Every structure is written in structure tokens, then in C-alpha cells.
């Protein structure tokens, strides 16, 4: 039997689902394409910063071949180099790179760096795999630890990495996993040997498809299910979906008489019976009656830095960097538009964002948002960071009206919303086939995570690319608030036709 080459990342994939290993080798083109540029960049930045936790270090370049990286590691170990980063080892076709290796005369310590703020179970598998490889090579592994981000640390004028990172000893947990890891590795080798390239394994879908990560082969593995199916139901937990799937209740027809959430049954009923729109006009009128001119339709975009770049912020704190604002000052007044988009290198981005918004909404009126929890929370955070702005942020919060409520409560629902109250589903349901309101027609950015990722990577782009991305960010955010204006207009139309 030819033993499979298993790296620590591939091993962790197999812990989730052994078929991922086979699919990655023989059906890689079937994986969903995802733009993970910012995720990879975040991991890289956190890893690079953590390398300095224990002082000077020697780094193994990642651009070398595996043979070169292993050879360089051996050379540094022989030279008794105290701290080696990306130290690379292989034994019996099992390979790992150790993020930070402490090398002492009586043994070594493994430090696995994660850009998370907590320790997930899969991290223990990752670190335990490294323990096995180094132990098999005859090294005395004295300690294994996870290095992760401390989201209670508030950055001062300078970044203190000793406060930014938590270090947790997981040596005992790694020791307890050794038999399990060795058994898994033998299982993986047998699995790949039995199936080979042309005999695709059969593996039932289950909760493992989403834990700890959503599998990139989800669409491939569910390609033969009826459409729509149980996994298209909004508002149902994955555990319940898989329970129904295991019972053979997969299509909407199978599920129409099940004892499940009323809103889920409503989605099924509307889909199967092509129901007309359900509109509770009193609920719509309640929203309209709560509005006072001027009307401010506003939407924020935010991003999260794993490593806090701004004084007074924490790891992964939401940083509002952009807003779009449509204004109707009085009944019959023309629609105005204002906007803010921070510069990529703005060290005062939160305050500049807030001051611009306060100026643009200086009069009291209804602040209309879609899902008020997000904007209201950002406003409270701004007031906490800048006490001199708290009164204004509280004023804005006191005027917030959430346009999402009738859709969330199912007081306004159509089949085309597919059980969702996201504006990305609601808008095309209310205004079908309108290219002006089609997020798909936008140039580069079509949803919030794309906007966040674009801003996070903006300063690494060329001036020409920055200009193009900034234009796309403005277009995207502007559509979000124009969409709210159109929803408000639809509410007025519905009530008028009563």
C-alpha cells in the first residue's frame, strides 16, 4: 500500500470528513470557489506577528520545497537555534510545519498560532498531529500550546503583543489524542487505497458537512437532491434539517404536513401552492405612522481587524468605515444622497465616520435602517469610545426605525422571498426584473462580506485598483439605502391601495 501524504491541514479535513481528502485529490474542480483572500491574509498577519512572542527567531521560508524546509529545520536544530518558526518535519509520509518551535537541550515546545479568539476542538487535532510527528522522529516534546487572540485587550497607542495573545497549554489533551490520531491515519490510508481514483466513496451528508467548517463540496454532494429541499428552508436549524433528511423527508412535498416551525411550513406552502403575497396592512401602516420627516435612510459597512490597528479597539471589533444616506426632508421633497467612505490608512476612521454622520443628520427625524441591531450597536460603541459624541449617538439611536420588522414577522411575505427577510431576497421579490435594483448588476461588490474584505485589502492595492474598489464600495452601499427607499415606497403604495 502506498501511504498517502498527510499534512496537518489535510488530517484536520479528514477529522471532519474522510471523503474531503478523496474529493480534494480527485475532484478538486467540484469545490465551491470562495474568495478567501482576506481570511488567508488575516491568518498570515497574525502568524507573522506571533513569531516575535519569544524574541529573536529563525524562520523557515515557506516558498522552498518540502525537502528544503525540512533540511533547513534539521540544520537549525543541530545548531541549537532557540526559536524556529515554520519548523518543518516529516515522518512516514506525515508532514507538519510548527508555527513556533522552542528548541532546548532537553526537548522542544510546540506553539500553534490561531487567528481566533477561542480554542476550537479542531485546533487540538491540529496540535496533536504535530506532537505525533515530532515524537515519532524521536524528539522529546515537553509542551504543546495554542496561541490565540485576546479579544479583551484594548490597544493603546502602541500594540503590545504579549497582551494581544493568550497562550494555553494543551499538552495533556494532545497526549490523550495520540491513539485516536494514529488510528485515523491508518483509516485514511486504507480509505484512499481501497477507493482509488475511479471509485468514488459513498458518504452520507450530515452535521459534519458544516462543523467545524462548511465543506466546499457541499453543492457537489447534494447535487442530486430535489429542488427545493429541506436544506432550502430558512429559519430551521441544521440539526433539525438533518433529522428530517435522515427520516427521508427531503422535498417540500415530503415536509408539508410535518410538525415544524409555522414559518417553515408557510414557506413550504407558498412554494408548493404558488400563494399570492401576504400583506398585513395594519403592520405596514404601523411602520409608516412611526416615521417623522426628515427621513434618513442609512446603511453602514464595517470591517474587523484581527490585529487591532486603531487605538482604543480590540481584536475583531466592528469598525464602521462607510455609510450611505438617502434623505427625504419633507413630504414630496426630492431624494438627496450623502455618503462617507474612509481612506484606507485613516487612523481616525471611527470618529471621522461618526462626525460626518452627525453632521449629515443634524436635524431630528426618523433614522431608517434595515436590521437595527447592527447600526444601533455600532452607535453605542462609538458613544463609549468617544464620550463627547455619546449624546449625539444616543439621539440618533432614539430615532431609529427598523424597516425589516414586517418582513421578519411575516406580516409581508411572498414566495420569492424564500423564507428569508434579508434585503437581498426582499428587494427582488418586491421589484422583480428591475436592473436598477439588482445587486448582481453591480461591478465588483455584491454583498456585505465582499465590501468588508475589499476595504480590508484596499491599502495593499495599486492606486488604479483602489480607485476601482472605492467606486464599487460606494455603488454597493448606495444601493442598500436606495433599496430601503424603494421598500418605503412599496409600503406607501400598499397602504394607498387599501
pTM for this entry: 0.92
Identify the pLDDT of residue 460.
Answer: 87
Integer angstrom CA distances of residue 64 from 25, 60, 72, 296, 443: 22, 8, 10, 55, 38
Identify the pLDDT of residue 33.
Answer: 77
Residue 274: pLDDT over 80: yes
Identify the pLDDT of residue 392.
Answer: 98
Q: What is the mean pLDDT of residues 397-410?
A: 97
pLDDT for 138-188, tens place per residue? 999 999 999 999 999 999 999 999 999 999 999 999 999 999 999 999 999
Residue 314: pLDDT over 70: yes
Interatomic CA distance for residues 389 and 353, integer angstroms: 12
Q: Are 192 and 26 in contact (CB under 8 A)?
A: no
Classify domain 6-191 by CATH number.
3.90.320.10
- What torsion do the CA atoms of 199, 201, 202, 203 make, to the nearest 10 degrees? -170
User: Bridge partners of 303?
Assistant: 319
Identify the pLDDT of residue 24.
Answer: 93
The residue behind cell 515519532 is 136
Band (pLDDT 50/70/90 cuts) for residue 125 is very high
Identify the pLDDT of residue 443.
Answer: 86
Q: What is the DSSP string of 339-375?
A: EEE--TT-TTHHHHHHHHHHHHT-S--EEEESSHHHH
Average pLDDT, the chain: 95
Identify the pLDDT of residue 496.
Answer: 86
Reduced 3-state DSSP string for 299-332 = EEEEEECCCCCCCCCCCCCEEEEEEEEEEECCCC
Identify the pLDDT of residue 263.
Answer: 96
Identify the pLDDT of residue 498.
Answer: 59
Residue 2: pLDDT over 90: no
Interatomic CA distance for residues 300 and 477, integer angstroms: 8
Residue 38: pLDDT over 80: no
- Assigned CATH topology for domain 282-496: Nucleotidyltransferase; domain 5 (3.30.420)
Identify the pLDDT of residue 130.
Answer: 98
Identify the pLDDT of residue 337.
Answer: 98
The residues, any chain, with a CB within 8 Å of residue 211's CB and separated by 6 or more, are 16
Q: Where are the domains of the chain?
A: 6-191, 225-273, 282-496
Q: In this predicted structure, which of 33-37, 76-80, 376-380, 394-398 has the lowest mean pLDDT?
A: 33-37
Amino acid at each position: 500500500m502506498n501511504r498517502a501524504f498527510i499534512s496537518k491541514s489535510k488530517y484536520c479535513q479528514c477529522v471532519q470528513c474522510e471523503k474531503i481528502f478523496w474529493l480534494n485529490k480527485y475532484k478538486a474542480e467540484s469545490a465551491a470557489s470562495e474568495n478567501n483572500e482576506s481570511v488567508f491574509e488575516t491568518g498570515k498577519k497574525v502568524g507573522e506577528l506571533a513569531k516575535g512572542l519569544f524574541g529573536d527567531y529563525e524562520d523557515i521560508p515557506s516558498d522552498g520545497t518540502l525537502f528544503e524546509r525540512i533540511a533547513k529545520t534539521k540544520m537549525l536544530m543541530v545548531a541549537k537555534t532557540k526559536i524556529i518558526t515554520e519548523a518543518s518535519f516529516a515522518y512516514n509520509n506525515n508532514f507538519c510545519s510548527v508555527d513556533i518551535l522552542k528548541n532546548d537541550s532537553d526537548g522542544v515546545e510546540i506553539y500553534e498560532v490561531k487567528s481566533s479568539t477561542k480554542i476550537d476542538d479542531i485546533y487540538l487535532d491540529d496540535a496533536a498531529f504535530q506532537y505525533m510527528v515530532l515524537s515519532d522522529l524521536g524528539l522529546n516534546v515537553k509542551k504543546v500550546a495554542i496561541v490565540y487572540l485576546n479579544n479583551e485587550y484594548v490597544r493603546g497607542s502602541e500594540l503590545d503583543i504579549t497582551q494581544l495573545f493568550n497562550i494555553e497549554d494543551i499538552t495533556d489533551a494532545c497526549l490523550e489524542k495520540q491513539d485516536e490520531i494514529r488510528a485515523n491515519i491508518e483509516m485514511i490510508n486504507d480509505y484512499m487505497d481501497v477507493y482509488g481514483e475511479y471509485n468514488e466513496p459513498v458518504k452520507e451528508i450530515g452535521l459534519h458537512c458544516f462543523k467545524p467548517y462548511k465543506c466546499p463540496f457541499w453543492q457537489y454532494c447534494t447535487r442530486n437532491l430535489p429542488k427545493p429541499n429541506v436544506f432550502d428552508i430558512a429559519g430551521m436549524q441544521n440539526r433539525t434539517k438533518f433529522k428530517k433528511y435522515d427520516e427521508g423527508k427531503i422535498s417540500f412535498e415530503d415536509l408539508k404536513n410535518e410538525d415544524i416551525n409555522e414559518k417553515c411550513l408557510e414557506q413550504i406552502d407558498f412554494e408548493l401552492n404558488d400563494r399570492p403575497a401576504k400583506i398585513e396592512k395594519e403592520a405596514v401602516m404601523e411602520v409608516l405612522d412611526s416615521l417623522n420627516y426628515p427621513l434618513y435612510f442609512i446603511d453602514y459597512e464595517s470591517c474587523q481587524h484581527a490585529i487591532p490597528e486603531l487605538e482604543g479597539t480590540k481584536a475583531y471589533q466592528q469598525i464602521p468605515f462607510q455609510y450611505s444616506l438617502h434623505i427625504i426632508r419633507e413630504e414630496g421633497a426630492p431624494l438627496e444622497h450623502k455618503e462617507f467612505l474612509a481612506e484606507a490608512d485613516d487612523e481616525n476612521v471611527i470618529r471621522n465616520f461618526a462626525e460626518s454622520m452627525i453632521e449629515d443628520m443634524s436635524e431630528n427625524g426618523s433614522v431608517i435602517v434595515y436590521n437595527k441591531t447592527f447600526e444601533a450597536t455600532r452607535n453605542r460603541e462609538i458613544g463609549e469610545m468617544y464620550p463627547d459624541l455619546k449624546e449625539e449617538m444616543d439621539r440618533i439611536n432614539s430615532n431609529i426605525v427598523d424597516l425589516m420588522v414586517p418582513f421578519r414577522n411575516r406580516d409581508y411575505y411572498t414566495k420569492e422571498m424564500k423564507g428569508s427577510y434579508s434585503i437581498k431576497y426582499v428587494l427582488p421579490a418586491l421589484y422583480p426584473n428591475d436592473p436598477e435594483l439588482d445587486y448582481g448588476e453591480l461591478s465588483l461588490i455584491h454583498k456585505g462580506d465582499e465590501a468588508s474584505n475589499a476595504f480590508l485589502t484596499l491599502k495593499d492595492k495599486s492606486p488604479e485598483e483602489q480607485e476601482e474598489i472605492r467606486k464599487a464600495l460606494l455603488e454597493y452601499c448606495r444601493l442598500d439605502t436606495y433599496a430601503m427607499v424603494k421598500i418605503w415606497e412599496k409600503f406607501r403604495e400598499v397602504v394607498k391601495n387599501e
